[in-house]
Amino acid sequence: MQKKTDNIIIKSKNRIPIVVTDTEKQYPLLPLRTGVLFPGMIMTLQVGRPENLRLINYCLEKKQEFVASFSNADPNDDGNGEGVHQVGVIAVPRDYKKGLGESLSVTIEGQRRVAINTILSREPFITVIAHDIQTPTSIKRGIKDKINEVLSIINEIVHLDPIYSSEQLFVLKLDQDDPSLFADRVASTFHFPLTAKQEILETINLNMRYDRLLFYLNTELNKVATARRIEQNVEKNIEEATRRQYLQQQLYEIRRQLGEDFSEEREANRFRHIMKNMTGLPAEVVARANIEIDRLTQLPPASAEYGVTKNYLNWILSLPWGKCKPEDYQISDASKVLSSQYYGPVMLKEQILQRLSVRKLMGGINEGPTLCLVGAPGTGKASLAKAIANALGKKLIRISVGGISDVTELKGSPRTFLGAMPGKIIRTLREAGTCDPVVLIEDIDYFNMDNDSSLNMALLEAIDTRWNSKFLDRYIGVPFDLSKVFFICSVRTFEEIPEQFIPRFEIIELPGYIEKEKIVISKKYIIPRLLQKHGLLRSEVKFSDKVLAKIITNYTMEAGLLGFSQQIEKICRKIALAKSEKPKKSWTISEKNLETFLGPAIYIPERAVSSPEIGTAAGLAWTGAGGDLMFIEGLKMKGDGQITTTGSLGEVMRESIQAAHSYVRSKADVLGIDFSDFNDFDIHIHFPSGAIPKDGPSAGVTVCLVIASVMAERPIRNDIAVTGEVTLRGRVLPVGGIKEKVSAAYRAGIYHVALPKENAKDVKDLPREILRKTKLTYIERVDELFELCLLDFTPSSYTLEKIFAEEIEKARKRKTRTSKKRSTSTAKKTGKKER
Burial 459-480 (b: 16+ CB within 10 A, else e): bbbbbbbebbeebebbbbebeb
Cis omega (within 30 of 0) on the bond before 767? no
Helices (H) and strands (E) in the chain, counts: 28, 27
Q: What are phi and psi of 489, to 5 degrees?
A: -105, 155
Cα four-point dihedral sign 325, 330, 334, 340: negative
Residue 320 CB neighbours (<10 A):
18
Give residue 448's region: left, alpha or beta (phi > 0; psi -120 to 50): left
Closest listed residue to residue 404, CA positions, set 454, 370, 440, 369:
454
Residue type, position 713, single letter: E
43 exposed, middle or buried (CB, 10 Å; 0-12, 13-18, 19+)?
Answer: buried
C-beta separation of 696 from 652 below 8 A: yes
Q: What is the SS3 assignment for 244?
A: helix
Give the HSE-up count for residue 467: Cα atoms under 13 Å, Cβ half-sphere: 11
Give the DSSP letter of residue 139.
P
- Among residues 197, 518, 550, 741, the one annotated as catalytic is 741
The count of residues in the chain is 835
C-beta separation of 551 from 568 below 8 A: yes
Known catalytic residue: 357? no
H-helix or E-strand containing 807?
Answer: helix 796-834
Helices (H), 137-205: 143-160, 166-173, 179-189, 194-202
Residue 146 CB neighbours (<10 A):
18
Pairing, β 9-10 against β 4-5: antiparallel
Distance between CA atoms of residues 708 and 801, nearest Å: 18
| Strands (E) located in 534-668 | 541-543, 587-589, 616-623, 626-638, 643-646
Rg for the chain, CA atoms, rounded: 52
- Among residues 69, 698, 709, 743, the one annotated as catalytic is 698
Distance between CA atoms of residues 180 and 176, nearest Å: 9
Residues 6 or more apart whose Cβ sits within 8 Å of residue 238: none
Determine the angle formed by the axes of helices 562-581 and 545-555, rounding to 10 degrees: 120
Residues 6 or more apart whose Cβ sits within 8 Å of residue 743: 514, 515, 516, 626, 627, 766, 770
| Distance spanning both ends of the chain, measured CA to CA | 108
Residue 611 CB neighbours (<10 A):
7
C-beta separation of 730 from 670 below 8 A: no
Known catalytic residue: 796? no
Pairing, β 541-543 against β 587-589: parallel
How far, rounded to the nearest angstrom, does the alpha carbon of residue 513 sit from its chain's CA centroid?
Answer: 35
Distance between CA atoms of residues 349 and 792, nearest Å: 49
Distance between CA atoms of residues 782 and 789, nearest Å: 10
C-beta separation of 28 from 125 below 8 A: yes
H-helix or E-strand containing 51?
Answer: helix 50-62
Distance between CA atoms of residues 306 and 534, nearest Å: 48
How far, rounded to the nearest angstrom, does the alpha carbon of residue 277 sit from its chain's CA centroid?
Answer: 27
Give the HSE-up count for residue 150: Cα atoms under 13 Å, Cβ half-sphere: 29
| Residues labelled as active-site residues | 698, 741
